[in-house]
Amino acid sequence: MTRPIALVTGATRGIGRAVVDILAPDHHVLVGGRDAAAVDEIVTQLPSGAPFVADLTDADAVASACEGIDRLDVVVHSAGVEMGGEQADLSREDWGRVLELNVIALADLNRQLTPALRAAKGLVVAINSGSGFTSRAGGGAYAASKFALRAWTDALREEEREHGVRVSSVHPGRVDTEMQQRIQNLGDDYDGSLYLRPESVAKAVRFVVDATEDAVVEEVSIRPRG
Ligand SMILES: NC(=O)c1ccc[n+]([C@@H]2O[C@H](COP(=O)([O-])OP(=O)(O)OC[C@H]3O[C@@H](n4cnc5c(N)ncnc54)[C@H](OP(=O)(O)O)[C@@H]3O)[C@@H](O)[C@H]2O)c1
């Protein structure tokens, strides 16, 4: 394989899907998703790619999907879940769901990829959020997961420096994806044109990937213009 190898999680739609498209021209892309048919359909459209099928909250599925990956130039962690609700109403299960995927599963996947990332002196890109910097009423659990993710990237960046692995954190504001539509319950006043396009976030990721060898783009904040 002469192309750099990139794994994108949450690649079946939204931001992850757009990241696949922007990396595909010059990367071998491992397309991450839970639905094998949806993943295969994307893989067949790529110049060079392969499926990475796993529910990231299923430890056994993740371990088996990681088998055979011995070199990895880029991993983009885009799979994530939203969680709205005031603290008075959030259940232990709600907390578990948002922290399990957005933090624990992501960190555990990355741990399993670490030898491959070190072998390639690769790059880790975490798709964080504006909610990784600020918390607001009704968004505390989601923000807590993204604050935790920022703590994880900040520590990992320092830990992996001596191994040549770079770690970047990309913080989009609202993006017109199915997640944003769910957050707004598709009310009559939903207007996706007010938000970032997934392709715009993918361009920010591409900027991070294209950083010169001597540099790491540590944090990028990208927000809707309007
Ligand atoms: N949309 C926004 O406004 C916004 C803003 C800032 C940050 N973000 C962050 O950007 C990232 C992507 O968001 P998005 O808007 O693109 O979300 P999305 O449209 O809901 O897509 C989420 C992706 O994650 C995958 N996924 C969900 N649960 C999974 C699991 N247990 N295991 C494996 N994959 C799973 C989904 O796969 P399936 O097809 O299998 O469900 C899908 O591909 C998230 O981390 C989100 O927090 C989003």
pLDDT of 190 reads: 83
Protein residue closest via CA to atom 8 of ligand 1:
129
DSSP 4: P
Q: What is the pLDDT of residues 123-161, one digit of tens each?
A: 999 999 999 999 999 999 999 999 999 999 999 999 999
pLDDT of 226 reads: 86
From its phi and psi, is residue 29 left (phi > 0), alpha (psi between -120 and 50) or beta? Answer: beta
φ and ψ at residue 209, rounded to 5 degrees: -65, -35
pLDDT of 189 reads: 81
Helix (H, G, I), strand (E, B) or coil at 34: coil
pLDDT of 172 reads: 98
Do 196 and 174 touch, CB atoms closer than 8 A?
Answer: yes
**How far is the centre of ligand 1, averaged over its atoms, from the C-alpha of 47 (Å)?**
24
Report how far apart, in Å, the C-alpha atoms of 158 and of each of 128, 144, 154, 165 are: 18, 22, 7, 10
Neighbours of 44 (CB within 10 A): 8
**How far is the centre of ligand 1, averaged over its atoms, from the C-alpha of 198 (Å)?**
11
Sheet (strand 49-53) strand order:
49-53, 28-33, 5-8, 74-77, 123-127, 166-172, 219-222
Query: Closest Cα partner for 7 from 82, 81, 68?
Result: 68
pLDDT of 89 reads: 97
Do 31 and 43 touch, CB atoms closer than 8 A?
Answer: yes
Fold of 5-222: Rossmann fold (3.40.50)
Q: What angle do CA 108, 85, 79 make, to 5 degrees?
A: 30
Q: How far apart are CA 16 and CA 9, in angstroms?
A: 6
Do 79 and 34 touch, CB atoms closer than 8 A?
Answer: no
Strands 5-8 and 49-53: unpaired
Positions in the chain whose pLDDT score sits under 50: none
Active site amino acids: 142
Quote the pTM value.
Answer: 0.98
Domain ranges of the chain: 5-222
List residues near ligand 1 (CB under 6 A): 10, 12-16, 33-35, 55-57, 78-81, 101, 127, 129, 172, 174-175, 177-180
**How far is the centre of ligand 1, averaged over its atoms, from the C-alpha of 103 (Å)?**
13
Q: What angle do CA 183, 188, 189 make, to 5 degrees?
A: 75
